[in-house]
Amino acid sequence: MSEPSHDPATDSSVPRHVAIIMDGNGRWANNRKKPRHSGHRAGVKSVRLSVEVAAQRGVEFLTLFAFSSENWARPKEEVSSLMNLFVEALRRELDELHRNNVRLKFIGALHDLNAGLREKISHSEHKTQTNTGLNLTVAISYGGRWDIIEASKALARRVSEGSLQVDGIDDASFAGELQMSPMPDPDLLIRTGGEQRISNFLLWNLAYAELWFTDVLWPEFDEAVFDEALNFYAGKQRRFGHTGDQIEAVEC
């Protein structure tokens, strides 16, 4: 989205929107001489915990990077296992999420998924659509470049149809065509597993996010680690192009 129009005087130390790249499942399994799919299964409990902690700490939006567009290139057995795990997790967790007032949304090239998983996704979104608690977004078959290209195509179609002038394309109109619309951009990105890159995740939306990296592998991600990331965020002065003096003057 466009540069956030934050009022520094009212900003909370708690991020409104947290995005997480859940990395390290395979290495966790390898370290224990277990098959990779056991690492993905172990990571489900960290998903459950992150949802609980986010809701408890007052986070409004939580976005999890579950499966990238590049992950389709992994061994077929691993991809198949992941798809089955997604279906199983939705079946097992949906009622609990619904009871806890969580609203579910999925983004990505969902047409690439098998029919059974698409049906589960549609059902879960429909069932939770009126919930007013934590907004949980899961990115599956998602890539940031793909997202930007699809948004560009949508704007090009509008221009071709005459409903939009070229000069009318701005940050807001572009952001409105992205997968995350109309949600606010992430304030904090967490990546587990030790890598320090964003790996084609929410390329537009992460423009002003604070980035926090940890060596902790995703299946070992717990409440203490989440709180460490939130404390990191709380210690940041978010300037959005202003100087520190300007921010402090407003806060005073």
**Radius of gyration of the CA atoms of the chain, in A:** 19
Q: Would you call 111 helix, strand, or coil by DSSP? A: helix
End-to-end CA, the chain: 29
Helices (H) and strands (E) in the chain, counts: 8, 6
- Amino acid at site 2: S
Q: Which one of 11, 23, 185, 187 is the catalytic residue?
A: 23
Closest C-alpha to 250, from 6, 3, 2, 4:
6
Phi/psi zone of residue 184: left (φ > 0), alpha (ψ -120 to 50 degrees), beta? Answer: beta
Q: How far, in Å, CA of 146 to CA of 163, rounded? A: 24
Q: Which residues of 94-120 are buried (b: 16+ CB within 10 A; e: fewer)?
A: beebeeeebbbbbbbbeeebeeebeeb
Q: Is 101 annotated as catalytic?
A: no
CA trace torsion 206, 210, 216, 219 (10° rounding) = -50
The two tokens of residue 20 are 């997480």
203 burial type by CB count under 10 A (0-12 exposed, 13-18 middle, 19+ buried): middle
User: Is 23 annotated in the active site?
Assistant: yes
Catalytic residue among 71, 84, 100, 200: 71
Active site residues: 23, 71
